[in-house]
Amino acid sequence: MDQADWEALYKGAVPRVYRALLATLRDASLSEDVLHDAFLEGLLHPPDPANNVAGWLFRVALRRARRRPWSFLRLGDVEATADTDETASALDRLEAGRLLSLLTERQRAIVVAHYYLGFTHAETAELFEVRPGTVSATIAKALVRMRKGISVV
């Protein structure tokens, strides 16, 4: 990919991938930082353009977030807590944001990739380097958790 391709990709993918990261990480500044780190990684080591580049950016950004000592420890190790910034507060006011907050980091990442970014189970499995059955099971558990959360209004 040349510079013009990356600029076009940046303009097209940033809003979508940023919203997916924000819904997953629930931290606006961390989401922005790791998204820019992912783009830098793409400039240094370009992904295959035949791949889903937005998915690649999402995966790289999540990996970068895991390496930050002040971010979440590991996907699934801890429950996420809402940030106090305006963006997270706005998400918390939305029912979808409230229900997503009931999920673990891993569940939230997989649900967001599948439902928000529109990846199939196979694409989601490839994105997170797990088996499609793991994606199915994770989504099923997440949906059960979210359904239970609906009754806790």
What does the domain layout of the chain look like in residue ranges?
Answer: 3-150
What's the pTM value of the predicted model, to 2 decimals? 0.61
- CATH superfamily, domain 3-150, is PhyR, sigma-like (SL) domain (1.20.140.160)
pLDDT in tens, 101-131: 889 989 999 998 888 888 889 989 988 889 9
In tens, the pLDDT along 80-105 reads 444 455 665 555 556 677 788 889 98
Whether residue 113 contacts residue 55, with contact meaning beta carbons closer than 8 Å, is answered with yes
